[in-house]
């Protein structure tokens, strides 16, 4: 087995053991912190699975990916609600008109936490464990490939090329284009995070830049989600103070993005 193969296999096995442990932990104590940790290790595991899948497409690998992605997606609404709660909590003293929305989000968070707890209690992790073991077998065969390191670098090149294309296609009047860019940056970030020990030294330094830029893109996405939810909650009667405050916040984030957009050229 090549050095790159041994590293990839060890990383995959460690990640899926961590994932199953985190699922178990969430079952016993379902809160914002444990769910955040589960989401993070899910994304890390998915990045590695997608790499393996690209190197050697196999049906059991796709089945495992779908199971993990489905669980990850089930937390999206809860995550958005918790992010909005943190944001609104910082503004409700200065903008008292936000209090009804804050109380609404608090009730919604409690409901979604309960739903997540029920979902996790019904989650059949032993079936996923079987799929992951099969994926490990495929990974062991794959890791004997003497060209593995070069093929991994080619895959990163392709991911980065997609990222650059999406960066060029960004239209700040259409926030969905920034969201699509964010997904590409996130994919690159988690993959490089896993592979960092075997990457060329010249590429290791870019990971912190990627994380920082991803935070900015995430803040823009959070702003878009918050704005949409405020519109739905207040309908046609949104107080001007709320509209002005969060519109200004979003414009400042977009201005920062424009100023930093070229930083992506240094990611890989």
Mean pLDDT over 29-51 rounds to: 91
pLDDT value at residue 204:
63
Query: Are 95 and 242 a contacting pair, CB within 8 Å?
Result: yes
Give per-residue pLDDT as tens, 88-147.
999 989 999 999 999 999 999 999 999 998 888 888 777 777 777 777 877 777 777 778
Give per-residue pLDDT as tens, 198-225.
777 766 678 889 999 999 999 999 999 9
Q: Specify the long-range contacts of residues 126-129, CB closer than 8 Å, at least 24 apart.
A: 127/67, 128/20, 128/64, 128/67, 128/68, 129/20
Task: Identify which of 57, 111, 103, 62 has the alpha carbon closest to the alpha carbon of residue 84.
Answer: 103
CA–CA gap between residue 261 and residue 185 (Å, rounded)? 12
Q: Could you give the 3-state DSSP secondary structure of residue 82? A: helix
Give per-residue pLDDT as tens, 169-188.
999 999 999 999 999 999 99
pLDDT value at residue 127:
73
Query: Are 15 and 44 a contacting pair, CB within 8 Å?
Result: yes
pLDDT value at residue 1:
63
For residue 238, what are the CA distances in angstroms to 93, 102, 174, 226? 17, 14, 22, 13
DSSP 23-53: HHHHHHS-SHHHHHHHHHHHHHHHHHHHHHH
């Amino acid at each position: 087995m090549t050095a790159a193969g041994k590293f990839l296999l060890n990383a995959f096995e460690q990640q899926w053991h961590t994932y199953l442990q985190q699922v178990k932990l969430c079952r016993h104590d379902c809160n914002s912190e444990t769910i955040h940790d589960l989401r993070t290790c899910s994304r890390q595991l998915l990045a590695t699975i997608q790499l393996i899948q690209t190197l050697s497409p196999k049906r059991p690998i796709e089945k495992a990916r779908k199971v993990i992605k489905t669980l990850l997606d089930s937390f999206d609404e809860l995550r958005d609600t918790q992010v909005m709660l943190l944001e609104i909590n910082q503004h409700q003293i200065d903008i008292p008109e936000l209090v009804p929305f804050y109380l609404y989000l608090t009730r919604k968070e409690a409901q979604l936490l309960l739903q997540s707890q029920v979902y996790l209690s019904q989650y059949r992790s032993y079936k996923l464990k079987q799929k992951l073991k099969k994926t490990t077998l495929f990974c062991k065969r794959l890791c004997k490939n003497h060209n593995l390191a070069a093929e991994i670098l080619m895959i990163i090149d392709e991911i980065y090329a997609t990222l650059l294309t999406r960066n060029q296609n960004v239209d700040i009047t259409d926030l969905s284009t920034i969201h699509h860019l964010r997904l590409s940056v996130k994919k690159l970030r988690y993959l490089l995070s896993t592979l960092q020990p075997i990457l060329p030294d010249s590429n290791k330094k870019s990971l912190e830049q990627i994380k920082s830029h991803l935070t900015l893109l995430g803040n823009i996405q959070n702003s878009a989600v918050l704005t949409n939810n405020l519109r739905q909650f207040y309908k046609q009667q949104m107080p001007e103070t709320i509209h002005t405050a969060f519109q200004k916040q979003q414009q400042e984030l977009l201005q920062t993005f424009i100023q930093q957009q070229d930083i992506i050229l240094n990611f890989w």
